Amino acid sequence: QHSFGSLSKVIFTANAESDVGTREGKVKSFGEHHGNLDLKLEKHPDQGGKGGGTNPEELFACGYAACFNGALRLLAVKNGIKIGNSSVKVSVSLGVESETVTAGVPLRLGLAAKIHAEIEGVDGPTAQKCADLAHEFCPYSRATRGNMDVEVVGTAK
C-alpha cells in the first residue's frame, strides 16, 4: 500500500527523452503539444564536466520555480491575500547522502532545494505565509516532501 495520492484525473502529460550521452548528451521533449525543447546537457564543473550547458538539476529547478510561483499566486487569491508581483528562485543541489550501497553501488546521491519567494505588496510575515501555503500545495513540493530537504523562505520585495 502506498502513502501518496494517485491521480484521479490526468490534466496533461509531459514527455522527455535522454539520449545515450546522459549528463553530457541531449534531452528533448516529444509528443502532442510539446514545446520543442531540445537541449545539450553538460556536467557541472564541480561534477567533473566542462560546463557551458544545462544539467538535470537546472531543469528541475526551473520547473519547480515556475510551479511554485503559480501555486503561490493561486493560494494568495484563494486565501484573500492581496499581493503584487512575485518571483521565485529555486536552487537545487546534487550531493552525497551516504556511502550506503544503492543498487550495487557504494554511494547514495540525493537532492536538496532552497526556495526563495520574493513578493511585492506584503510584509515579511505575510510573504512567509504565502510561501508556506505554496509549499503545502505545489505538486513539486508534495512530490519531494519526505524525500529531500527543502528550505522555503518568503520575503517582501
pLDDT at 123: 98
pLDDT at 33: 87
| Helix, strand, or coil (residue 70) | helix
Question: Cα 7 vs. chain centroid, distance in angstroms?
Answer: 19
Output the CA–CA distances (angstroms, integers) from residue 7 to 21, 52, 71, 141, 142, in the order listed: 32, 37, 18, 16, 13
Retrieve residue 68's grid coordinates.
511554485
pLDDT at 2: 52
Tens of pLDDT, residue by residue, the chain (157 residues) = 456 778 999 999 999 999 999 999 999 999 988 889 999 999 999 999 998 899 999 999 999 999 999 999 999 999 999 999 999 999 999 999 999 999 999 999 999 999 999 999 999 999 999 999 999 999 999 999 999 999 999 999 9
Retrieve residue 155's grid coordinates.
520575503
Radius of gyration of the chain (CA): 18
Sheet holding 149-156, edge to edge: 86-98, 108-119, 149-156
Residue 103 backbone zone (phi > 0: left; psi -120 to 50: alpha; other: beta): left
Closest CA to 82 of 47, 150, 129, 35: 129
Retrieve residue 60's grid coordinates.
528541475
